[in-house]
Amino acid sequence: MVAVLLALPTNWVVPSVRAAEGPLAPVNLRCEYLKNPVGIDVRQPRFAWVLRHTERAQMQSAYQLLVASRPELLAQNKGDQWDNGKTLSDDSTQVVYKGKPLESGHSYWWKVRYWDKDGNASEYSHPASFEVGLLSAEEWKGQWIGGANQLRQEFNLAEAPRRARAYICGLGYYELRINGAKIGTNVLDPAWTTFDKRVLYVTYDVTANLHPGANAVGVMLGEGWFKSRALMLQMDIELASGKHVSVTSGPSWKAKNGPIVSDSVWDGEVYDARLETPGWDLPGFKDDGWMPAASVKAPGGVLSAQMMPPIQEVDSMVPMALTNPRAGVYVYDLGQNISGWVDLHVTGPRGTQVQLRFSELLYDTGMVNRENLQSGYRDFVAAKARDIYILRGDGEEDYRPRFTYHGFRYVEVTGYPGTPSIDSLRGHVVHTAVKTTGSFAASKPLLNQIHKIVRWSDLTNLHSIPTDCPQRNERMGWMGDAHVSAEGVMLNFDMAAFYTNFVRDIHDVQDADGTVTDTVPLRYGSRPADPAWGTAYPLLCWYLYEQNGDRRILEENYAGLKKYVEFLRSRAPDNVLRFSYYGDWVSLETTPPAEVSDFYYYYDTLLLSKMAEVLGNTADAASYAQRAGQIKDAFNKEFFDEKTGNYTTGTETANLLPLFLDMVPEKSRETVVSNLTYNILYQHNTHVTTGFIGLRYLMPVLTRFGYPDLAYDLAVETTFPSWGYMLANGATTVWELWQNKVGPSMNSQNHHMLGSVDTWFYEGLGGINVDPNQPGYRHVRIEPQVVRDLTSVSATVGTVRGDVTSSWTHEPGVTTLQVDVPVNSTATVSIPKDVEIAEITVHEGDRTIWEKGRFVEGTPGVTAGKFAHNQVIFEVGSGHYSFRVDGK
Ligand code: BGC
């Protein structure tokens, strides 16, 4: 190449060669974890970008970030808001805005370029944008109004709008309509919060929906979790001349109940199409019969921007079967348990009432079995889980509900005029529309099926908060469920904004005494939370930190977390925390709940000391580390029997919890491990007996202590209790219980928490692990578990720094491993040695990197190699690697 270039005339430009080599423009620009967010209320938002480079082992040595108030300025490389110049730093995530103060209702454009480790600069990225919502309470000019479930207002614009934004908080749920059209694709908005602490508003760009002259805005309100209706709306419009006008909710609005006769999250919607008021959301509508909107009490909470992906209809489904088990009763089968609703297509006489009832199960007769819509709590009435549609009778009608959702696979239709066909109904999958970022596939089909039902359960339980289940009279933010699944969910989907919001929800329920609640927002359960539920507060903060390098979540919550840990301490005078309500919930064998609570007391204290260390609070780091040591000693004194090597009842959970956190005295560790494996292998013939708490740590513990094959055997088991057993019995989502129950109470077919095994699919089998000392995948540990009859596994995690992939194949004597490490990250790659082979050789691409027991230097990106614990271990920089291990 050099020779060729020398032969060229000096004025010869070779742009294609230059453009294709070296540092490439950053991509995937994010602001507060979101792509081009509209309406954020963070004064110092954080930026992140993903780097690309054509060479291996590349890093960012510096970056330049420009933020401009107009796109034209940015195009001229002018950052009038912020230009940090060439800043020496390898930070490509969590970069905090430090420019001029951001203003409410303004848009900003930004881009970034970087210098690689050799000082070569990339091109600037494509521009990205972010918009600021209303930063302070005084900027809200509207009033809270209600009085009916339809509210409307007309207004005139003297000129065409240049820029218009609508800020809306419509509780419990809203649908915003302007000039006859629904605005945006959000449904079941806004997110559920502790309404007297905080309510969320959503910002829409409505410039294209407005025009000069008469305009109309209409808002439909549902009750949702707020159980009442209240609207706050502000439309800020900049006209072509630069003049500003605002349209705000207030007493001049008109109100009238529309076709939604009743709506409830649990019970469904009753919609009487005869009550529709066509044209109500258009200008010129005769609203004579409408009353002035009532001013209503403010919900009480501060108005904050909703900064996470909205709930949306993410997919639709054609039913796979339609049956007619009884005269007049039609049952549709979607073939998949989902959360969402159906739309109904119907023609018939005015006033005909069609009822849709939803279920997860069928009786043998083909009728829907709805016995499990009642939770275990007797004081809760079972969810009605039905929608009723009353026809207008003027031809073809389509109905789908707005302010409810159901968890179901089957839909029973009664009252249908005539005979419905398979096309009379479509299913719509509705949940928080997070982006899929991870993937997992293995040569064993059963693992892929488990992964699939876990994904379904995870997704269908994202409804602005992580819910426990989507069907019965719960759907609440049970904190225990939330934390056991969180890591797996983070590995599969882009979750940072969602959990950041949920952590704030937890912070909002915290009392001055440090207590949090079992469900967040608190709808049921206790304050203080069961410690195995309350631990979601520290754990979610920590997972966000590990996965994204998010220091701010630790900063913002440190005081709250400290209060929480101090509360636990106040209940543990002798350093043992015993109180508990649920313990190792849904387990098959009982572990004393006090052991579970105390385990989390230790865990939370330990995490607090680590967080203090991250934040540079060395005094707290030391004192909480010391206290954690005392708790550990007390735990062992209270729960450990040195003679038998068992903790408490010696169940799987009892022994694995202390192993997970290295609480077991070193001299007894092997005995405890062997008690655990003996219990699994011989006392339970290789079956799980844990509840969902113990389960979260079971596979990691077996793997870490040398039994990944046993973890695998548990994962692929097909008899009771196992995931294979669920699948063999028709599960399309993960069950709440290990048992196959179809009767009344507590046997949801869709609870995500037993799906925590998916975390191990990524971290164990795929081997992709975050390094907590270099969080946000700054350094990655790739340690795939090559087990039993598995011949291949392929896993990708879409990290904040780019995709990390680990993809391996295995046949006796030969292991191959493909690895992707993002630019600006490094990895330690450990490949297990086959027992058959005495002396291994390792190739990377066509180079030899390990031979005769020695690392061979000289391969780009591979900086070191060693052999330890029956693995050959390489240190690598960024890039794609293709390893092959064989030998004699
Ligand atoms: C919920 C759970 C929750 C539990 C608390 C149940 O009714 O559905 O998943 O964690 O209560 O024990």
Under 8 Å between Cβ of 764 and 700:
yes
Residue 165 alpha carbon to ligand 1 centre in Å: 41
Which residue minimizes the CA distance to atom 12 of ligand 1? Answer: 582
1: exposed, middle or buried (C-beta count within 10 Å: 0-12, 13-18, 19+)? exposed
758 Cβ inside 6 Å of ligand 1 = no
376 Cβ inside 6 Å of ligand 1 = yes
- Is the backbone peptide bond immediately before 573 cis, with ω within 30 degrees of 0? no
Q: Dump pLDDT digits (tens) for 586-603.
A: 999 999 999 999 999 999
Instruction: State percent of the chain over pLDDT 70.
Output: 97
d(CA 404, CA 463): 11
The residues that bridge with 315 in the sheet, in sequence order, are 429
d(CA 476, CA 408): 17
478 Cβ inside 6 Å of ligand 1 = yes
pLDDT on residue 20: 63
Q: Which among 236, 227, 226 is positioned nearest to 199, based on CA atoms?
A: 226
Q: Which among 389, 387, 318 is positioned nearest to 348, based on CA atoms?
A: 389
844 Cβ inside 6 Å of ligand 1 = no
For residue 80, what pLDDT band results from cuts at 50, 70 and 90?
Answer: very high
Ligand 1, atom nearest to 736 Cα: 9
d(CA 267, CA 385): 5
3-state secondary structure of 66: strand
For residue 375, what pLDDT band results from cuts at 50, 70 and 90?
Answer: confident
**Can you give the three-state secondary structure of 162-207, one letter per residue?**
EEEEEEEEEECEEEEEECCEECCCCCCCCCCCCCCCEEEEEEEECH
pLDDT over 80 (residue 458): yes
d(CA 801, CA 778): 8
Q: What would the two tokens of residue 557 be?
A: 């919550």
Mean pLDDT of the chain: 96
Which residue minimizes the CA distance to atom 2 of ligand 1? Answer: 468
Q: What is the DSSP string of 260-287?
A: EEEEETTTEEEEEGGG--TTTTSTT---
Ligand 1, atom nearest to 748 Cα: 8
What one-character DSSP code corresponds to residue 102?
A: P
pLDDT on residue 1: 33
pLDDT (average), residues 220-234: 98
375 Cβ inside 6 Å of ligand 1 = yes
pLDDT (average), residues 671-690: 98
735 Cβ inside 6 Å of ligand 1 = no
pLDDT over 50 (residue 6): no
pLDDT on residue 813: 93
Which residue minimizes the CA distance to atom 3 of ligand 1? Answer: 478
Q: What would the two tokens of residue 693 be?
A: 């708490």
The angle at the Cα of 443, spanning 439 to 449, to the nearest 5 degrees, equals: 60
Amino acid, single-letter form, for residue 512? A
Which residue minimizes the CA distance to atom 5 of ligand 1? Answer: 582
Residue 620 alpha carbon to ligand 1 centre in Å: 34
Ligand 1, atom nearest to 474 Cα: 8
Q: Directed axis angle between helix 536-548 and helix 551-570, to 10°?
A: 160
What one-character DSSP code corresponds to residue 422?
A: G
Under 8 Å between Cβ of 222 and 178:
no
213 Cβ inside 6 Å of ligand 1 = no
3-state secondary structure of 594: helix
752 Cβ inside 6 Å of ligand 1 = no
Q: Which among 61, 277, 38 is positioned nearest to 165, based on CA atoms?
A: 38
d(CA 610, CA 740): 41
546 Cβ inside 6 Å of ligand 1 = no
Residue 749 alpha carbon to ligand 1 centre in Å: 13
Ligand 1, atom nearest to 376 Cα: 7
The angle at the Cα of 575, spanning 573 to 581, to the nearest 5 degrees, equals: 80
Q: To test ligand 1's pocket by mutation, which of 373, 379, 468 has the most ligand atoms within 8 angstroms of CB?
A: 468
481 Cβ inside 6 Å of ligand 1 = yes
pLDDT over 70 (residue 49): yes
pLDDT over 90 (residue 746): no
pLDDT over 80 (residue 3): no
What radius of gyration, in Å, describes the C-alpha atoms of the chain?
A: 29
Q: To test ligand 1's pocket by mutation, which of 374, 478, 580, 693 has the most ligand atoms within 8 angstroms of CB?
A: 478
3-state secondary structure of 552: helix
Q: Which among 710, 709, 741 is positioned nearest to 725, based on CA atoms?
A: 741
pLDDT over 70 (residue 481): yes
585 Cβ inside 6 Å of ligand 1 = yes
466 Cβ inside 6 Å of ligand 1 = no
Q: Which among 807, 805, 811 is positioned nearest to 791, based on CA atoms?
A: 811
For residue 744, what pLDDT band results from cuts at 50, 70 and 90?
Answer: confident
584 Cβ inside 6 Å of ligand 1 = no
Ligand 1, atom nearest to 518 Cα: 5
Which residue minimizes the CA distance to atom 11 of ligand 1? Answer: 478
Q: To test ligand 1's pocket by mutation, which of 360, 481, 596, 736 has the most ligand atoms within 8 angstroms of CB?
A: 481
Residue 478 alpha carbon to ligand 1 centre in Å: 6
Q: How many helices (H) and strands (E) does the chain have?
A: 17, 48
pLDDT on residue 743: 85
d(CA 47, CA 848): 40
389 Cβ inside 6 Å of ligand 1 = no
Global pTM reads 0.96
Which residues, other chains included, contact 72 with Cβ-Cβ below 8 Å and sequence gap of 6+?
none
751 Cβ inside 6 Å of ligand 1 = yes
Q: Which among 232, 218, 221, 217 is positioned nearest to 173, based on CA atoms?
A: 221
Q: Dump pLDDT digits (tens) for 130-189.
A: 999 999 999 999 999 999 999 999 999 999 999 999 999 999 999 999 999 999 999 999
Q: Which residues of 70-86 are buried (b: 16+ CB within 10 A; e: fewer)?
A: eeebbeeeebebbebee
Q: 75 in the Ramachandran plot: left (φ > 0), alpha (ψ -120 to 50) or beta?
A: alpha
The residues that bridge with 203 in the sheet, in sequence order, are 167
Integer CA distances (angstroms), 380 to 228, 745, 787, in order? 19, 11, 46
The residues that bridge with 317 in the sheet, in sequence order, are 427
Question: How many other C-beta atoms are found inside a 10 Å radius of the C-beta of residue 634?
Answer: 18
Q: Dump pLDDT digits (tens) for 296-350.
A: 999 999 999 999 999 999 999 999 999 999 999 999 999 999 999 999 999 999 9
Under 8 Å between Cβ of 102 and 80:
no
Q: To test ligand 1's pocket by mutation, which of 582, 597, 733, 749 has the most ligand atoms within 8 angstroms of CB?
A: 582
Which residue minimizes the CA distance to atom 8 of ligand 1? Answer: 468
Residue 177 alpha carbon to ligand 1 centre in Å: 38
Amino acid, single-letter form, for residue 25? A
Ligand 1, atom nearest to 582 Cα: 12
For residue 379, what pLDDT band results from cuts at 50, 70 and 90?
Answer: low
Q: What is the DSSP string of 477-502?
A: -BHHHHHHHHHHHHHHB--HHHHHHH
693 Cβ inside 6 Å of ligand 1 = no
Torsion sign over Cα 181, 183, 186, 192: negative
Which residue minimizes the CA distance to atom 9 of ligand 1? Answer: 468
Q: Directed axis angle between helix 669-678 and helix 692-704, to 10°?
A: 120
pLDDT over 50 (residue 11): no
Residue 654 alpha carbon to ligand 1 centre in Å: 21
Q: What is the DSSP string of 338-399?
A: EEEEEEEEE---TT-EEEEEEESEE-TTSSEE-GGGS-S-TTSPPP--EEEEE---SS-EEE
pLDDT (average), residues 730-757: 95
Residue 468 alpha carbon to ligand 1 centre in Å: 7
Amino acid, single-letter form, for residue 295? S
Question: What backbone torsions phi and psi does residue 653 show, to the nearest 5 degrees?
Answer: -60, -45
116 Cβ inside 6 Å of ligand 1 = no
Q: Which of 197-211, 659-673, 737-751 has the lowest mean pLDDT?
A: 737-751
Q: Which among 195, 206, 202, 204 is positioned nearest to 229, based on CA atoms?
A: 195
Ligand 1, atom nearest to 746 Cα: 7
pLDDT on residue 376: 66
Residue 456 alpha carbon to ligand 1 centre in Å: 19
Strands 161-171 and 268-272 turn out to be: unpaired
- The distance between the two most distant Cα atoms of the chain, rounded to a whole number of Å, is 92
Amino acid, single-letter form, for residue 241? S
469 Cβ inside 6 Å of ligand 1 = yes
Which residue minimizes the CA distance to atom 4 of ligand 1? Answer: 478
474 Cβ inside 6 Å of ligand 1 = yes
For residue 12, what pLDDT band results from cuts at 50, 70 and 90?
Answer: very low
